[in-house]
A and B are shown apart, each in its own frame.
Chain A
Amino acid sequence: MTHPPDHGDAESGRYEIRLRGQLDQRWSDWFEGFTLTNQTDGTTTLTGHVTDQAALHGLLRRVGDLGVTLISLNVTHNSKEEPES
């Protein structure tokens, strides 16, 4: 953990999740309102905001449940930017 768990704001933020394969738009609801974008390299990115770590883990589990391959996970914007240690 790079942040103490009680550091509420540091947990929430915008994330980008990249998956193998191109997913249909209809999965947007499934992924809690994340925006699905099909990339030209045959991957799909999910972008959206999570309220905390638990929500993020829930989302990742949905990815796992679907059997799609997870390629990467990035924080794209954080309300309180802190350098990653």
Chain B
Amino acid sequence: MVMPVLATKLFVPPLRPQAISRSRITRKLDDGMRRGAKLTLISAPAGFGKTTVLSEWIASSRLSSPDLRVAWLSLDSADNDPARFQSYLTAAIDSAISESGFSDDDPTGSLDVTIPWLLNKVAQSPGRLLLVLDDFQLIEDPAVREAVELMIDHLPSTMHVAIASRSDPLLPLARLRARGELTEIRASDLRFTPAEAGAFLTRTSGKSLSDKDIAALGARTEGWIAGLQLAALSLRDRGDVSEFITAFTGSNRFIIDYLIEEVLDRAPLDVREFLCQTAILDRLSGPLADATTGSTGGAEMLEALERANMFVVPLDDERQWYRYHHLFADVLRVRLMAHGTAHVQTLHSRASEWFESNDSPAEAVQHGIAGSDFARAARVIESTIPSVRKSRQDTTLLGWLAQLPPEVIGRRPVLQVFSAWASLVAGDVTAVEPQLAAAERQLEAAAGGKTGVHDSEPGSELDSLPVTIALYRAAIAMASEDMPAIRQHAQRARDLTAPDDHLGRGAAAGMLGLAAWSTGDLETGIVEFRESAANLRRAGNVLDALSTTIVVSDMLVTLGRLKEARAAYERALLETEASGVEVPPAADLHSGLSRVLHVGGQAALATQHLSIAHDLGEEAFAHEHRYRWSIAMADARRTEGDLEGALDHLRDADKEYRRGFFPDVQPIGALIARLWIEQGRAADAHSWATDNGYAVQGELTYLREFGHITLARALIAHNTPSSLADAATLLDRLLDSAEGGGRAGCIIEISLLVATILHAQQKPATALASLERALNLAEPEGYIQLFLDEGAPILALLRTAAGAGIQPDFVRLLSQSIRNRLQVDPTSTLADPLSERELQVLRLLATELTGPQISRELHISLNTMRTHTRHIFLKLEASERAGAVRRAETLGLI
């Protein structure tokens, strides 16, 4: 990871030995904890001892309850990057509750995934946990704030959160307060009482002060601890105590200005210099201080300052790292600024150099930028790109890029291309290409033998830059749905990749696959996505490789290869289950398999996989596939006959749908329109289609195929001679197009619909031919649901197929299933069952064939045929042919 977790941020500040006990406050905190409050808020301006109170509380709580674990996180402004906040929060909680400290099974998802995961982990761990978030006022990012809110809302009973902040955080405090779930410590609680002030002043200054002096100081500082501490420091080694107090209390000057001057003026010159120069550092160690001041003795100086109570706070047990008290640092920085900006920049630049050579890129960049040392900052930023990409700490990197002058970025093609990507992510598409082109020109010049054309360091990032550029260009083309351009750039990326650049090859294949899919060339789409998956696996990215199963299976179903789609899902699920994957795409794979099973008419099994997906939990779904579960749920409800429930799920799906790079081949609007048709709202469905530009003579592309078939269904449902004719015309065109793309799955649906139209138009011969085509394509792969969805009206049509001997077993299965769905009592059976021969005759009786034709068909005499018929009528308690056929249908015999 590029930015290692700084252990100093997780260090619980130790209680200072000379601290004044604030038991009245810690008692209040204890009471809150005991009452079951979820949150403790310590909200007061700088210098009120918020952190000290927390330290004391933790020290005393640990004594009274040894099972208390403490996770401490000192926030800084960089924690507004959700990815960074997430890694620190995880590290803080992990190191508190895991015996082994940091665990390596951290989730890879975003904050809204990590928070429930962490809380679950806390709930399962023994003992109680106190999480402290110090300096919360620095958190401004809404995503981080929402994550904290989410955490507080779902806190396990064994966990408590304490927040220290200079201003009230934007959390639902009123709600927590109303429910008694909030303990508040505010400035008025924190101010020293006269007694506390007296004890503190005496202890810190080493002077015994009169009650009058103490009262005067207390009044002047209003119990503000930072003020009292400075006053105590000023008093130390001073003979004229009363004189000082009179002068101080008589002055109107801002306390800090007055007192720091007093303290600094009395300090030796080297201490004064040291304090001012190192005030630019957010955390400091001896070696870092030496590098920054250009002097020596920093470590000893820091220890001396700590002993002298000079506002330095240790950040670890070894006394290696310290920070200044925030308020003190602010004041020192203001004094430093008076020395001129050039001096300040030199200090920052030296600090940046130290951090760079000590593997702290984030701080090296921060000080490099502050010191206008942009060349160094740019070099460090560039070196972090590979790991930032892995750890997804993009926000940090983007923030840095924005602070670099364009000409510095322009010197480094690697940085420039990353900046182009940043523009792409920010949606500023027009800014992308000029940056890519500029980087490309530099690469070409360098390849042509020119030296000094750019500053990017040699290495794999630079080597693969031409591939990266081509991939980003393909991504731009994707945003504008320019298919030929996607193909051109992705192909170029592929041509440029080194054989071992699996990630690059995987990305190029994925883009080529998307382009093929979007244009209806599904065979190529499948080949490319499988190639992409193979490369992703080689690159070690198994989860993304598994995700390709979803798109490949979508294409297989459309191509009429249902069994292959099912096998692909089952293989992928075996892999996830074997490796215990409970992150995306585990749940998405179950949703996908459920849909495939549904198409195959296996409703019960399909529903089972939806439950499994649901039980895996939200964190096992990928954002871009989440809607698929809701669509599959809608299918399940629809099969149960609950059309309103199905519509509800489709509305959810619509909310969850994220427009990504995947083509929207089955628009949710079309699925909703199809349900309307079933509800008898054909007119609404028709309006939806025309509103979305679907028309009988409209241009037919693969992406609009599903919508156009939906329009045809609306026209069929309208059921007038002219609407049927329109539907026939449209379906005829659609059939051509589906045949052109080899999309057997679509041909089944279209042929079936054509057959129903022809049947309604009393054209039995052509209707049967069309149905036969649908049945012949559907039977081997088991496309059952399409027929079942047609319901009772299709029974007569199926009867003609049975009569003609087309796919007899399959047709019987379909007819029976439809009747079962019509809720025929399955228990009614015949007392005297029909013989095999009688069943054959019965099936033919259900057709248009005449008696002599039937006997010829079965190679039996007319008389034998009539005997069979009589037995059949007897057994079915029917008096004539039509009645026998109806009865047989109800019983599921044909």
Q: Enumerate chain A interface residues (CB-CB to B < 8 A).
A: 21-24, 26-27, 29-30, 38, 42, 44, 61, 64-68
Contact = CB atoms under 8 A, between A and B. Distances in A.
Nearest to B341: A29
A32 B75 CA distance: 25
Given A29-B337, A30-B334, A67 B252 contact: no
B627 interface: no
Question: How big is chain B's contact interface, by range?
Answer: 20 to 34
A67 B167 contact: no
B629 interface: no
Contact of B256 (A29, A42, A67): A67
B337 A66 contact: no
Contact of A21 (B47, B252, B338): B252
Contacts of B335: 26
Given A21-B252, A22-B253, A23-B257, A67 B334 contact: no
Contacts of B327: 65-67
Interface in B318-346: 326-327, 330, 334-335, 337-338
Contacts of A30: 330, 334, 337
Contact of B46 (A24, A29, A42, A65): A65
Contacts of B45: 64-65, 67
B166 interface: yes
B253 A67 contact: no
Contacts of A38: 252
Nearest to B254: A21
Contacts of B334: 26-27, 29-30
A23 B254 contact: yes
B337 A21 contact: no
B281 interface: no
B337 A26 contact: yes
A67 B226 contact: yes
A66 B46 contact: yes
A82 B118 CA distance: 52
Interface of B: 45-48, 166-167, 224, 226, 252-257, 326-327, 330, 334-335, 337-338
Contacts of B338: 26
Interface centre among B224, B254, B330, B334 (most CB of A within 10 A): B254
Nearest to B44: A67
A24 B337 contact: no
Given A26-B337, A66-B327, A67-B226, A21 B255 contact: yes
A29 B331 CA distance: 12
A26 to B, nearest CB: 6
A22 B330 CA distance: 17
Contacts of A23: 253-254, 257
19 contacts: A21-B254, A23-B253, A23-B254, A24-B254, A24-B257, A26-B334, A26-B338, A30-B330, A30-B334, A61-B167, A64-B45, A64-B166, A65-B46, A65-B166, A65-B330, A66-B327, A66-B330, A67-B256, A68-B254
Contacts of A21: 252-255
A68 B45 CA distance: 8
Question: Top 4 closest A-B pairs, CB basis?
Answer: A21-B254, A42-B252, A67-B45, A67-B46
B223 to A, nearest CB: 12
A21 B334 CA distance: 17
A61 B327 CA distance: 13
Contacts of A29: 334, 337
Given A27-B334, A67-B256, 18 more contacts: A21-B252, A21-B253, A21-B254, A22-B252, A22-B257, A30-B334, A30-B337, A38-B252, A64-B166, A65-B46, A65-B166, A65-B327, A66-B256, A66-B330, A67-B45, A67-B46, A67-B47, A67-B226
Nearest to B261: A24
A66 B327 CA distance: 6
Nearest to A63: B45
A42 B255 CA distance: 12
Interface centre among A24, A38, A67, A68 (most CB of B within 10 A): A67
A65 B257 CA distance: 14
Given A26-B334, A26-B338, A29-B334, A65 B252 contact: no
A22 B258 CA distance: 9
B291 to A, nearest CB: 26
Interface centre among B47, B256, B335 (most CB of A within 10 A): B256
Contacts of B255: 21
Contact of B254 (A22, A64, A65): A22
A39 to B, nearest CB: 9
Contacts of A27: 257, 334
A24 B166 contact: no
B224 A67 contact: yes
A80 to B, nearest CB: 29
A25 B224 CA distance: 23
Contacts of B330: 30, 65-66
Contacts of B166: 64-65
A65 B77 CA distance: 14
B338 to A, nearest CB: 6
B252 A64 contact: no
